[in-house]
Amino acid sequence: MIIREQIEDKFGGKAFERPLFYRYEGGLRFELSGDGNYLNQFLTAHQKAMEVCQQVFRTCEDITICVRIFGGNKLLSRLSTLRELREAGLLPETNKEHWTQFDEEWRGDEDYADSLWHYIAFKASKEYLINALWCALASDFGFIKPNPMAAVYLFNLTQDVMVFPYDDRGMDVVGPNQHFLKELYDAFGDYLLEYDREAMDASFLQKP
């Protein structure tokens, strides 16, 4: 499982912990959607997330995408999600990794043995950023399709940086490459979430 091992190694086993910004110190949190009706909020969030991600992946030939789905023992327990992912081009037929982890919040419950997170990871060309962000940010909008209702994580494994657009409201960018994150901090200061700005300033404001 080459992708899984890379993710665990580069991000210290914290890549899928939530809330990511608070679990992985020294990261960035961007505010995405603004005012207006739901459609305007979604489109604004998608546009801002694309701007940031185009910078994150500017030197990459491809990106690593990981989709996280909650379901039963069998991946087919979320058949509707798989259909939506395939429609969005985020479920390749081949060259993908699949692994599972139990959800520890269910430990002790009678359904624990059938409560798993499924991970599907693969590499894709940068043109799939549009699709991946669409699916991630649509999670709170039932009327926007496709909408697989799955978490989407984006990795630049060359620069040791990952992006987690958790919904239309915001997006976390973390990783051990503090120089790279500092460049994003400087370039997209207006997009940073004001609520967490003090923590981000403490990490990046005085750095060269």
The predicted pLDDT at position 105 comes to 65
Average of per-residue pLDDT values in the chain:
91
Q: What tens digit of pLDDT does each residue of 114-162 get?
A: 678 999 999 999 999 999 999 999 988 888 999 999 999 999 999 999 9
Question: For the segment 63-83, what is each residue's pLDDT rounded down to a tens digit?
Answer: 999 999 988 777 877 888 999
Nearest to 57 by CA among 137, 145, 136, 127: 127
pLDDT category of residue 194 using cuts at 50, 70 and 90: very high
The position carrying tokens 């991970």 is 119
pLDDT score recorded for residue 74: 78
Dump pLDDT digits (tens) for 79-113: 889 999 999 999 999 999 999 988 766 555 555 55
Give the per-residue pLDDT at 76.
73
CA distances (Å), origin 79, targets 71, 82, 84, 89, 124: 10, 5, 9, 15, 22
Distance in angstroms (rounded) separating the CA atoms of residues 80 and 54 = 30
Quick one: residue 106, left, alpha or beta (phi over 0 = left, psi -120 to 50 = alpha)?
alpha
